[in-house]
Amino acid sequence: MQWQTLSNRPFLPPLYWRAALKRKISGTSLPDLGLRCRVSVDPKAVAVYRKVCGFADSPMLPATYPHILAFGVQMQLLTDKAFPFPLLGLIHLSNRIRVHRPLGGVGELWIGVHAQNLKPHAKGATFDLITTVEDALGLLWEGESRMLCRGVKLSGPAEDEPLPTPAQVSELTRWNAPSDIGRRYARVSGDYNPIHLSALTARLFGFPQAIAHGLWNKARSLAALGEHLPAANIELFVEFRKPVRLPSEVHLSASAAGSSGEWVLNGAGGIEHMVGRWQPIG
């Protein structure tokens, strides 16, 4: 892996312009490239993120917040000329977070981003976008987002083992996903994908309504789970099923608090939006 160190967090507008211009698949292999960048945690930005995602005040960063710190670096990688797949149109299938140590007293951090594990899929090909966060003591946090690019032709069998629907769960809470949550989350995350912003922009990409960001659904669920979850040495895995159309009401069901467990986010008519589990890091 060839690692490149960025002098500053990437400025997003040019990256969105680059993403808009690339609409075709240009290859079938991932670049041997990783990006690193030093970032600072802004307490005011964290406070706004907490409000948008429903997290209570705490000295600990939300487990999903490092994704916000890393978003610009991820965009820089995914819009690089060597990256073969167009960013617009990528589908986020699943997300795994590993919190190795408590996310408290965090100031200066190093973010690392690279892509790996390109595999055939029934609808194209998948790859894993890997994000690591380190502090002065070493590895603090890891994220793994599995992305699908439709239309990629790879040889070999397509492997797909979905997470089973949790059985031993009971309803914990429910909430409304308002029509403007995509725009509000975009302002705190930098993710202005048109499918999340309005019905008008979502229709350009085949969606009848705007849909909530998958990572907002995950963050909102983790905020609701709250004391169910350990603060560290925890892996949080979710699969995104059907998108949450905006506006809509959803309800969260989960197993009892403990070192491991499961949850599911459902909508009207029992539709499964997301299934997840938590467990100690193995």
Same domain assignment for residues 126 and 214: no
User: pTM (2 decimals)?
Assistant: 0.95
Same domain assignment for residues 103 and 219: no
Same domain assignment for residues 64 and 176: no
Contact 192, 186 (CB under 8 A): yes
The more confident residue out of 212 and 158 is 212
pLDDT confidence tier of residue 111, bands split at 50, 70 and 90: very high
State the pLDDT at residue 88. 87
Q: Is the pLDDT of residue 159 over 80?
A: no
Same domain assignment for residues 168 and 44: no
In this prediction, what percent of the chain has a pLDDT beyond 70? Answer: 100
State the pLDDT at residue 120. 95
pLDDT confidence tier of residue 167, bands split at 50, 70 and 90: confident
- What are the CA-CA distances from residue 149 to residues 26, 89, 162, 199, 275 (Å)? 12, 7, 18, 23, 21
pLDDT confidence tier of residue 237, bands split at 50, 70 and 90: very high
Domain stops at, among 134, 161, 188:
161
Q: What is the pLDDT of residues 181-193, one digit of tens each?
A: 999 999 999 999 9
Domain stops at, among 131, 161, 191:
161
Same domain assignment for residues 140 and 201: no
Same domain assignment for residues 115 and 195: no
Q: What is the pLDDT of residues 224-235, one digit of tens each?
A: 999 889 889 999
> Which of these ranges, 39-48, 158-167, 250-259, 268-277, has the smallest mean pLDDT?
158-167
Q: Hey, what amino acid is at 164?
A: P
State the pLDDT at residue 65. 97
pLDDT confidence tier of residue 206, bands split at 50, 70 and 90: confident
State the pLDDT at residue 86. 95
Same domain assignment for residues 171 and 64: no
State the pLDDT at residue 184. 98
Number of domains in the chain: 2
pLDDT confidence tier of residue 161, bands split at 50, 70 and 90: confident
Same domain assignment for residues 47 and 168: no
Same domain assignment for residues 184 and 206: yes
Same domain assignment for residues 125 and 74: yes
Average pLDDT over residues 68-84: 97
Domain stops at, among 142, 161, 180:
161
Same domain assignment for residues 11 and 31: yes
Domain extent at residue 146: 1-161
State the pLDDT at residue 160. 76
Question: Which CATH number covers residue 97?
Answer: 3.10.129.10
State the pLDDT at residue 156. 87
Same domain assignment for residues 91 and 116: yes
> d(Cα 233, Cα 240) in Å, to the nearest integer?
23
